[in-house]
Amino acid sequence: MKITLHKFDLKLLHPFRTYRQTKTVQRTLIVELQDKGISGFGEATENPFYGVTIEGMTELLEGCSRSIESKAFDQHTDKWPVRFWEQMRPELCHWPFAQCALDLAAYDLWGKRLGQPVWRLWGLSLENLPPSDYTIGIDSIESMIGRLKEFSDWPIYKIKLGTENDLEIVRQLRKQTDAVFRVDANCSWTVDQTIAYSHELKSLGVEFIEQPLAPGDWNGMEDVYRETALPIIADESCQLTEDVDRCVDHFDGINIKLVKCGGITPAGRMICRARELGLKVMMGCMTESSVGISAIAQLLPMLDYVDIDGPLLLANDIATGVQIDRGRVIYPEENGCGARLITKVEPR
């Protein structure tokens, strides 16, 4: 195999604000694995909150390139990507974003070499898939209403909160649509706020609250879990496989991010463990291009909820792959994870 790294600046369609930051550009790293003339693609975005930079991932993967390229693709095993992930784990165990990009490229290559989409190789079906929400970042209420109208007729909207006017934001957005709402506080609320807000949010048609408290506040989450009027989904509190068990009796479900856990391989394990524990399962994105989003979509038949609107937030997608039409996920006629780089887009 041969590894090639591609760096891109993804310009956002609109400034995207959460409780922690505002972005106008999302930097991303695309990993390309080539074997016998076939390329598989994976992705990991830069994230300052987790201390992840493009430069750091590039240096790490370039340093591992000899080890990566020494691993032989084996078309005769149905678990080659898992074996490859385990082989690279000693060198990448502290760098889940970088290992994610490599893992996604391995699955894409595996499917393309075998001539099948990854979801089909796993024996999954594309019937009764959960729809994706569309995310509305924090802004003035007028601007947030504008974002909703720009993507009207969507079945579900995910609303970023963490302001002094959180309930008023939801009240005003509710006047515009009968769609399902989900709210994501990104760790910005207190215990008392979460419990108090949950009752009105429920009356406003909110389906669940995502990560209201700081990730280390497990005692606070016990109180919230016991007294809230709405289900609570863990995000920052559930990053790795070993975090899933701790979420029991603190959350009703988990939101898995491929970059945070290290790729498809550990995400599959997290899904299975969550099911064993009776937790709902969601997967979300980190404003990836269609490369990363198409990889997440391979797991869609295993999920209760999904948030893969990343390409819809971009002004310049760098790849083709799955498409999202009013929440419905449309799969391409493509093997592997289904993504291909658009060659006319020049890297950064």
Within 10 Å of residue 124's Cβ, how many Cβ atoms?
A: 16
**Amino acid, res. 110:** W
Q: Enter the DSSP assignment of 160.
A: E
- Token reading at 218: 């497990």
What are the beta bridge partners of residue 307?
284
Tell which residue, 125, 80, 156, 132, has the closest CA to residue 302. 125
pLDDT at position 348 over 60: no
Residue 337 per-residue DSSP state: T
Q: Which residue has the tokens 């039409």?
A: 325
pLDDT digits (tens, 9 = 90+) for 52-87: 999 999 999 999 999 999 998 887 777 999 999 999
3-state secondary structure of 33: strand
Buried/exposed code over 154-183 (b: 16+ C-beta within 10 A; e: otherwise) = bebbbbbbbbeebbebbeebbeebebbbbb
d(CA 194, CA 181): 16
Give start and end residues of each alpha helix (H) in the chain.
54-63, 65-69, 80-92, 96-114, 118-121, 141-150, 166-174, 191-203, 218-227, 258-261, 264-277, 290-297
> Taking a C-beta distance cutoff of 8 angstroms, is the pair 319, 43 a contact?
no
pLDDT of res. 345: 54
Task: Kindly state the percentage of the chain with pLDDT values over 90.
Answer: 95
Domains and CATH numbers, the chain: 2-115 (3.30.390.10), 134-341 (3.20.20.120)
Give the pLDDT confidence of 192-218 residue by residue, as tens digits.
999 999 999 999 999 999 999 999 999
Does residue 121 have a pLDDT over 60? yes
Question: Of 133, 147, 200, nearest to 17 (Cα)?
Answer: 147
Q: How confident is the model at residue 20 (pLDDT cuts 50, 70, 90)?
A: confident
- Is the per-residue pLDDT at 347 higher than 70? no
> Rounded to whole angstroms, how far apart are CA atoms 170 and 62?
46
- How much is the average pLDDT of 269-292? 98
Q: What share of the chain is helix, strand, coil (3-state, %, to 5)?
A: 40, 25, 35
pTM of the model as a whole: 0.96
Q: Mean per-residue pLDDT for 82-104? A: 97
Banded model confidence at residue 19, pLDDT cuts 50, 70, 90: confident
Torsions phi, psi for 229 (to 5 deg): -90, -5
Go through 217-254 and write b for each residue having 16 or more CB atoms within 10 A of its CB, e for each that does not: beebbebbbeebebbbbbbbbbbebebbeebeebbbbb
pLDDT confidence of residue 78: 79
